[in-house]
Chain A
Amino acid sequence: MIRVILPGHLRALARVSAEVQLDVKGPVTQRSVLDALEAQYPMLRGTIRDHVTQERRPFLRFFACEEDYSLEPPDTPLPDAIASGKEPLLIIGAIAGG
Chain B
Amino acid sequence: MSGVRVLVGTRKGAFVLTSDGKRERWDVSGPHFAGWEMYHVKGSPIDPNRLYASQCSGWFGQIIQRSDDGGKTWTQPGTPPGERTTPEGMPKGESNKFVYDTSAQTGKPLTTHQWYDGTQHPWEFKRVWHIEPSPTDPDTVYAGVEDAGLFRSTDGGQNWQELAGLRGHGTGPKWQPGAGGMCLHTVILDPSNPSRIYIAISAAGAFRTDDAGKTWRPINKGLHSQYIPDPNAEVGHCVHHVAMHRSRPNVLFMQKHWDVMRSDNAGDSWQEVSGNLPTDFGFVIDVHAHEPETIYVVPIKSDGEHFPLDGKLRVYRSRTGGNEWEALTKGLPQNDCYVNVLRDAMAVDSFDKCGVYFGTTGGQVYASANAGDSWTPIVRDLPAVLSVEVQTLP
Contact = CB atoms under 8 A, between A and B. Distances in A.
Nearest to A94: B59
A89 to B, nearest CB: 17
Interface stretch (A26-34, A41-49, A79-87): A41-49
Interface in B147-197: none
B59 A43 contact: no
A15 interface: yes
Contacts of A12: 33-35
B99 interface: yes
A23 to B, nearest CB: 11
- Chain B contact-residue range equals 20 to 34
B36 interface: yes
Interface in A23-73: 40-48, 50-52, 57, 59-60
A46 B62 contact: yes
A13 to B, nearest CB: 7
> Interface of chain A, helix or strand or loop or mixed?
loop
A36 B9 CA distance: 33
A41 B83 CA distance: 11
A46 B59 contact: no
Nearest to B75: A43
Contacts of A16: 86, 88
B95 A43 contact: yes
> Interface of chain B, helix or strand or loop or mixed?
loop
B61 A43 contact: no
B352 interface: no
Interface in B55-106: 57-63, 76, 78, 80, 83, 86-88, 90-97, 99
Nearest to B97: A51
Contact of A43 (B35, B76, B99): B76
A41 B94 CA distance: 8
A67 B87 CA distance: 30
A44 B59 contact: no
Given A14-B86, A93-B59, A94-B59, A43 B93 contact: yes
16 contacts: A8-B35, A12-B35, A13-B63, A40-B86, A42-B93, A42-B94, A43-B95, A44-B95, A45-B94, A46-B97, A47-B95, A48-B60, A51-B97, A59-B58, A60-B59, A93-B60
Interface of B: 33-36, 57-63, 76, 78, 80, 83, 86-88, 90-97, 99
9 tightest Cβ-Cβ pairs between the two chains A and B: A15-B90, A46-B95, A47-B60, A43-B93, A59-B59, A42-B94, A51-B97, A93-B59, A45-B95
Given A42-B92, A46-B96, A52-B99, 16 more contacts: A12-B33, A13-B63, A14-B86, A15-B86, A15-B90, A17-B88, A42-B80, A42-B83, A43-B63, A43-B94, A44-B95, A45-B94, A52-B97, A59-B58, A93-B59, A96-B59
